[in-house]
A and B are shown apart, each in its own frame.
Chain A
């Protein structure tokens, strides 16, 4: 997995690619927590995300809870396999997903 971080003003864009699983989800969690409390808009660009397991979902939910306190979170460019996981778990209803 790779995470690229781009901050412009109070908007942070994290571009996530590869696999978010048990072995890599901690790295994503650190990147999300690392954007700091001044950010009011977090964009997660998942165009290159190939795989996500429950440990990755745990981090996404943590991020949504965090951004509910300080602004908003938008998820972009989710592929159909990952979207299906979001759908089954009810995440599609609690996340803001832009296709």
Chain B
């Protein structure tokens, strides 16, 4: 398992994205798959950077941990995001109603929906004071 540990701010977003995508691109996924993973990293990391630590990160707390592993046989990506912020299950929110007309639809709320749809599995746990989101996706 590879790991990167960053202060959970948008300033670290590019570094987190690069960390994940360097490993994903090493197994040559299709452009569609690459974009799906990139989108998942953005949606989850932006949520952590925006909401996990409402009191800010200035006291040295407020970290995010991103772990990745790609199995050598099946090319299954395991992607884990952890933070020590307020307990928050992003999967608890109901999916948006995607059958409504443009005027009826609410603006927003699509991020987690896209994550659920792009990954093969998404599991939330609160473990040892950490929000832990574990996602899996076959890259072949």
- How many positions in chain A have a CB within 8 Å of any CB in the partner chain? 24
A37 interface hit (Cβ, 8 Å)? no
Within 8 A of B (CB), among A41-82: 51, 53-55, 57-58, 61-62, 64-65, 68, 80-81
Do B107 and A58 touch across chains, with their CB atoms under 8 A apart?
A: yes
Within 8 A of A (CB), among B1-55: 10, 13, 31-32, 35, 38-39, 42-43, 46
Find A68's partner among B13, B38, B96, B103 (CB 8 Å cutoff). B103
Within 8 A of A (CB), among B98-119: 98-103, 105, 107-108, 110-111, 113-114, 117-118
Do A81 and B32 touch across chains, with their CB atoms under 8 A apart?
A: yes
Do B108 and A58 touch across chains, with their CB atoms under 8 A apart?
A: yes
- How many positions in chain B have a CB within 8 Å of any CB in the partner chain? 26
Overall SS of chain A's interface: helix
Do A89 and B107 touch across chains, with their CB atoms under 8 A apart?
A: no
In whole angstroms, how far apart are the Cα atoms of A94 and B113 in the complex? 17
A5 interface hit (Cβ, 8 Å)? no
Find A94's partner among B46, B105, B107 (CB 8 Å cutoff). B105
Chain A residues with Cβ below 8 Å from B10 are 22-23
A residues near B (Cβ < 8 Å) are 21-23, 51, 53-55, 57-58, 61-62, 64-65, 68, 80-81, 84-85, 88-90, 93-95
5 example contacts (A-B, Cβ-Cβ < 8 A) are as follows: A51-B35, A54-B114, A58-B107, A65-B102, A89-B98
Q: A54-B111, A81-B32, A90-B99 are in contact. List 12 more A-B contacts (CB 8 A).
A: A53-B42, A53-B111, A53-B114, A54-B108, A55-B46, A61-B105, A81-B31, A84-B32, A89-B96, A89-B114, A90-B98, A94-B100
Which 7 pairs between the two chains have the least Cβ-Cβ distance? A90-B98, A54-B111, A54-B110, A94-B102, A64-B102, A81-B35, A81-B32
